[in-house]
Amino acid sequence: MGLGPADYDVHVFFDRTNRTVRRIVQARRIGTNNFMIVDSDGDGVPEQRSKLSDHQVEILFQDEWRQTRGPWANRQALVNSNWIAVRFENGRWRAASER
């Protein structure tokens, strides 16, 4: 599905066994920047976005897009000028210190 020649494009992936949404990937232009926005669990809320021009990855953490570093299992997010450890749990990113 898409709108316009390059402004918005979305791919929805379904589970073959129960036909539920498994993953949603959007290609979207915001201003002059092109982003790949990923909802990895198909719940309708994106978890991460990548700026295609410089491959910068951000995660949706505490209702804001935050710069990140590190692999998925050992991800860190920049919050108030500090890098904190985060983990993806129950459909959202949380501080690793949260229980």
**What's 20-82 look like in SS3?**
CEEEEEEEEEECCEEEEEEECCCCCCCCEEEECCCCEEEEEECCEEEEEECCHHHCEEEECCE
- Please tell me which residue, 34 or 79, carries the higher pLDDT value: 79
Query: What residue numbers bound the domain in which 24 lies?
Result: 2-95
With a cut of 80, say whether residue 7 has pLDDT above it. Answer: no
With a cut of 60, say whether residue 1 has pLDDT above it. Answer: no
- Of the pLDDT bands very low, low, confident and very high (cuts 50, 70, 90), residue 50 is very high
Q: What mean pLDDT value characterizes the chain? A: 88
Strand order in the sheet with 8-14: 2-3, 8-14, 21-30, 33-39, 48-51, 56-61, 64-69, 76-79, 82-89, 92-95
Average pLDDT over residues 62-86: 93
Domains contained in the chain, number: 1
- Please tell me which residue, 85 or 27, carries the higher pLDDT value: 85
pLDDT attached to residue 22: 93
